[in-house]
């Protein structure tokens, strides 16, 4: 049972903005709408990051990896479905959840993101050097940290709110 109500209506238009960005209003967003400032901030950051340098595939892989690292079944389930619809295979999904990819650049992005999550941003010189050697740019590094922040927000909020799962369940 959800710990916070999942709003169906809001006077701020944020649920309409959610529908615009995602095509629907997942229960996570309906619960986050209880705090309009939190939902507005989340949506704004998400919207800006969609126009960044990271590809849609890498953004989705980051969301799945971060959800896995944060043990968020809701988000692992949601991003497994989204990544599958983007064409990721079961093997690619498993690799992503383990911070690896057959493409060296994507592999480096996932590895540095996992280091950011696990080390709370205190990434060692070796990890940073390895990422740069694989072609990860400074712009990508900035966006990787932003994606960690964005997805950690949704993961932690899910832990708190426990919205009803509205995706096929995939355990984190």
Q: Walk along the chain (172 residues) in steps of 10 and give the mean pLDDT of each run.
A: 87 89 91 94 96 98 98 97 97 98 98 98 96 97 98 97 93 92
User: What is the predicted pLDDT for the residue at 26?
Assistant: 93
User: What is the predicted pLDDT for the residue at 9?
Assistant: 83
User: What is the predicted pLDDT for the residue at 22?
Assistant: 87
pLDDT tens column, 69-109: 999 999 999 999 999 999 999 999 999 999 999 999 999 99
User: What is the predicted pLDDT for the residue at 21?
Assistant: 86
Per-position DSSP letters for the chain, written without gaps between them: --SS---S--TTSHHHHHHHHHSS--HHHHHHTTSHHHHHHHHHHHHHHTTSSS-HHHHHHHHHHHHHHTT-HHHHHHHHHHHHHTT--HHHHHHHHTT--SSHHHHHHHHHHHHHHHTTT---HHHHHHHHHTT--HHHHHHHHHHHHHHHHHHHHHHHH-PPP-S-----
User: What is the predicted pLDDT for the residue at 64?
Assistant: 98
User: What is the predicted pLDDT for the residue at 111?
Assistant: 98
User: What is the predicted pLDDT for the residue at 2?
Assistant: 86
User: What is the predicted pLDDT for the residue at 89?
Assistant: 98
Q: What global pTM score does this model have?
A: 0.95
């Amino acid at each position: 049972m959800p710990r916070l109500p999942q709003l169906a209506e809001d006077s701020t238009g944020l649920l309409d903005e959610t529908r615009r960005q995602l095509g629907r209003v997942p229960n996570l967003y309906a619960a986050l709408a209880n705090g309009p400032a939190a939902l507005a901030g989340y949506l704004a950051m998400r919207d800006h990051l969609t126009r960044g340098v990271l590809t849609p595939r890498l953004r989705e892989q980051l969301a799945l990896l971060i959800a896995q690292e944060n043990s968020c079944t809701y988000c692992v389930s949601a991003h497994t479905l989204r990544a599958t619809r983007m064409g990721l295979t079961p093997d690619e999904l498993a690799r992503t959840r383990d911070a690896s990819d057959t493409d060296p650049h994507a592999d480096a992005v996932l590895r540095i993101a996992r280091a950011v999550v696990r080390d709370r941003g205190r990434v060692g010189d070796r990890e940073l050097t390895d990422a740069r050697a694989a072609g990860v740019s400074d712009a990508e590094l900035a966006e990787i940290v932003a994606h960690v922040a964005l997805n950690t927000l949704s993961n932690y909020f899910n832990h708190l709110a426990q919205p009803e799962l509205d995706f096929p369940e995939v355990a984190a």
